[in-house]
Amino acid sequence: MSRNQPESGTKAEQAGTGHRARLRQRLLDGGSEALADYEVLEYLLYAAIPRGDTKPAAKALLARFGSLAGVLEADHRQLEDVDGVGAASAAALKAVALAARRMARSKVREKTVLGSWQALLDYLTIDMAHLTLERVRVLYLDARNRLILDHMAQEGTIDEAAIHPREVVKKGLEVGASAMILVHNHPSGNPEPSRADIQITRRIAEVGQLLGITVHDHVIIGSEGHVSLKAKGLI
C-alpha cells in the first residue's frame, strides 16, 4: 500500500496542475465571463497555495460571504476563519480588492465626475456596498466638475447631530469647491432614502446655495444597488 502512495500523490499533483492550466487558458481566452465566481476565487488562491486543490476553499468563501464582491470586501480575520484560508490567502484576496478600488478611483479622477457617472457609481459600489458601518462621504468638485477631494465626513447614522450642514459647506469653501456630491451607504443593503437622508440633504443644499456651492446629488449605496436623490426628484 505504501508503495502506491507516492504514485497516487504524483497523479493527484499532475491532475491539479492540468486543472490549473485549463483554468488559466480559459481565463486568458474567454474574457470577463470565462470563469464562474468560485473559479475566479480558485485562481486567486493559487497565489497563496501553490499546490493543492483550492476549489473547496473557494466554494466555502462564497457560501460564507454570499458573492465574489462579499468575499473581496470581507475583513481579513473573517476570511481566515474559513477552512482552508490562511493569512497568505487572505492577503492575496485583499490585494485584489485594493487593486479594484484603485483602478475604479483612477477612472473617476481622470474625467469630469458628471461626465463619467457610471465610473463614479462603480467606484462607490466597490468601496462602500459591503461596509458594515454607515459611512458618509462628500465629493468636492471644482468649477469643471473634477474631483478635488473625496472627504470621509462621518461614520454612523446620518443626521444633523452627526453631519453639520455648515461644516460640510465650510470644508468646500476651504478647498475651493464649486459643487459637491454627498454619498453614504446603508449597511442593511437597501439603498432607499430615509426621511433623515432627505432632510439633511436639503439642509446642506440650502446652506450651500447661500455660499455658492451647489449640491449636485446625494447617492446612497447598498449591496442591493444605489439610489440618486436627484433622480428621484428629492433635491
The verdict on residue 107 lying in a domain is no
Start-to-end Cα distance in the chain: 76
Structure-block grid coordinates of residue 207: 446652506
Is residue 219 located within the same domain as residue 123? yes
The residue among 101, 123, 155 that closes a domain is 101
Q: Give the integer Cα–Cα distance in Å for 107 and 116.
A: 8
Q: Is 194 left (phi over 0), alpha (psi -120 to 50) or beta?
A: beta
pLDDT at 16 over 70: no
Is residue 18 located within the same domain as residue 122? no
Is residue 126 located within the same domain as residue 91? no
Full domain range(s) for residue 221: 112-228
Q: pLDDT tier at 223 (50, 70, 90 boundaries)?
A: confident
- Secondary structure letter of residue 192 according to DSSP: P
Is residue 179 located within the same domain as residue 72? no
Mean confidence (pLDDT) of the chain: 83
Q: What is the pTM of this model?
A: 0.65
Dmax over CA atoms of the chain, in Å, equals 85
* pLDDT for the residue 143: 92
Structural domains counted in the chain: 2
Give 52-74 pLDDT, tens digit per residue.
788 899 999 999 988 888 888 88
What percent of the chain stands above pLDDT 90?
Answer: 32
Which residue(s) pair with 184 in the sheet?
136, 220
Is residue 80 located within the same domain as residue 160? no
The residue among 68, 101, 134 that closes a domain is 101
Question: Pairing state of beta strands 225-228 and 179-185?
Answer: unpaired
Q: Cell 465629493 sits at which residue?
A: 139
